[in-house]
Each structure stands twice: as C-alpha cells, then as structure tokens.
Amino acid sequence: DITKRKKIEAQFMRAQRMESIGTLAGGIAHDLNNILSPIMMSIDILKTPSDSPETKQILETIKVSANRGADIVRQVLSFARGIEGQRIEVQPKHLLKDLENIIKDTFPKDIRLQFSIPNDTWTILGDPTQVHQVLLNLCVNARDAMPHGGSLTIDVENCVIDEQYAAMNSQAKAGRYVNISVTDTGTGIPPGILDKIFEPFFTTKELHKGTGLGLSTVMAIVKSHEGIINVYSEPGKGTIFKVYLPAMELSSEALKKQTQLVSPPRGNGETVLVVDDEASILTITSETLQAFGYRVLTATDGAEAVAVYS
C-alpha cells in the first residue's frame, strides 16, 4: 500500500508549485508597485484649491482605485512571503463601508445586501488589507453559493468571551472581541465536507472557478491575528461564518494621541538627492518635493548619484 507515499509526493509537488507562484507573484507585485506609485503621488499634486468639485471627485475616484490596487499588491506580497503584515489600529466599520461599495458595484443585482454595524464598534489591532481580504473572501464564497440570488447579511457586534467558553474552545482566549458574521441563504455545505473546507486546495467549485486557497488563507489570517473563526451550515438553508477578532484596549490618552493630525513638513530650500531607476517615480517624487519647498537633484543609478553629489 503506497497511498501514504503518494499523498506526501502530491503535497511536495504542491509546495514546490506554491513556491514558484510566490516567486512569480513577488516579481509582478514589484512591477505593479512601480506603476501605481506615480499615479498615487500625482493625485495630491493635481488637487488645487481652484479645482471644481467634479474634478476633485474624479481625482478622489482615481485615488481610491489606485489605493485598492496597491492593497492588492500588498496582498500578493504577503501571500508570496507569508501571512505577517503590519499591525495598526483598525475600525472594522470603515473596512465594511469600503466592502459595501465593492459588493454593490460587482455582485449580481439579485443578491440583496444587508449591513448591521453599531456606531460604538470596538477597534481591533490588525492589518487592514488582510482583514479586508478575509471579509471579501467570505462574501465571494457567499455569492458563489447563491447562483440564483438570495440575501447576504453582514453583522458586527462587540462581545466578551469568558474563561468558561475559552476553556471549552481550544482556539479561544478570554477577552474582548469584535464578532463579524457573514450570512448567506445559499446552497449550504454538506456535513461530510464541513471539516475539510479550511484545508489548502480543497474546493467544491468547478474547474477554473476556484483554487481552494480562499478559506485556507482566511483561516491563516484569522489565526495570525489571534482570532477565532466558526462556521454553521445546513444544506439548502445557507451558511454563517463568524469571525472573532481581539478588540483593542486603549486608554483615553492613547486615543487622543492617535487622533492628532500631523501636517506634512515643508522645506526651506534644502537640497535633496533622489535616486531611482524608474523614470516616472523619479519625476513625480521630484515634483512632490519641489511642491513642498525643497531643491531637488536627480540620478537614475548609484554611479550617476555619486557624480551628481560630487
């Protein structure tokens, strides 16, 4: 019986394939970053007090789209390098507002969307791009489970997990959590495969419609945030995914410090040498610095930079 050996071989081949995809993704992400950086830096220069509201709205739309593209690049890089990402204070209702716009623009019109987000939602410490990825993956799966339409409901609530519940659930630690529930009225998940859905490469979707990486990535991100994910499903009645992310506990003084606005510093004619091999990034960085009162010298590589400096 060589079944075990065959399984190990298959896992090894998958690991090699993932490594190749990661290397490729890293290269693509670098190129995309070079394309998006000048766009994002140009927008702030183009905004002037005399601009009409229509022009400002167009620029804001370009900025939002470019930022979303940059977020996707960061997602690709985090996938290529591993799940670790930046950890900052995140307000879930802001992420969900952005998610609502994406769903309304891209999901079929026969899927009804309902949001329930209290104004006093606690903040969490996490990577906003990765949390956004978790929610988007769950919503896309819900959409695919409702080919003939249905209801997609996203609920947010503050909750406290006590020592008793934590003792019964090996994943859980006692404390304050923000619970985000994604509920659909779709086909549901058969009981026989419910315990397999978080495995890498496991998918029930047709060929070319799913990689089997969505829920395994969701699980990895939730675990890296020290959170919990539970799923409840009945065939023909729909599915509920509940994601619990630890809430931040900040003092009022810390909150005041974080909300202070810092204006970008202005220069007084100081000279800055900018070196970059991408012409577009070099140009827009120079123009940005000049707009803020600096004198700028440029070079396209190290040797030229030394010559200019001399």
pLDDT of residue 182: 93
pLDDT of residue 275: 95
pLDDT of residue 278: 85
pLDDT of residue 305: 95
Intervals of the chain under pLDDT 70: 14-15, 17-26, 48-51, 68, 71-85, 169-171, 200-213, 250-264
For residues 189 and 204, what is the distance between their CA atoms, to the nearest angstrom?
10
Beta strands in 185-290 (DSSP E): 228-234, 238-246, 271-275
The whole model's pTM is what?
0.58
By three-state DSSP, how is residue 184 classified?
strand
| Amino acid at residue number 200 | P
| Amino acid at residue number 61 | T
The H-or-E segment that residue 295 falls in is strand 295-299
Measure the CA dihedral 127/128/132/135, to 10°. Answer: 70
Tokens 């507002």 label which residue? 97
pLDDT of residue 200: 63
What value does the mean pLDDT of the chain take?
80
Q: Give the pair of three-digit tokens for residue 234.
A: 């009945």
Going by C-beta distance under 8 Å and a sequence separation of 6 or more, which residues neighbour residue 103?
113, 139, 152
For residues 24 and 55, what is the distance between their CA atoms, to the nearest angstrom?
38
pLDDT of residue 271: 95
For residues 195 and 249, what is the distance between their CA atoms, to the nearest angstrom?
33
For residues 291 and 49, what is the distance between their CA atoms, to the nearest angstrom?
14
Tell me the longest C-alpha to C-alpha distance in the chain: 77
What is the Cα Rg of the chain in Å?
A: 24
pLDDT of residue 272: 95
The H-or-E segment that residue 144 falls in is helix 128-144
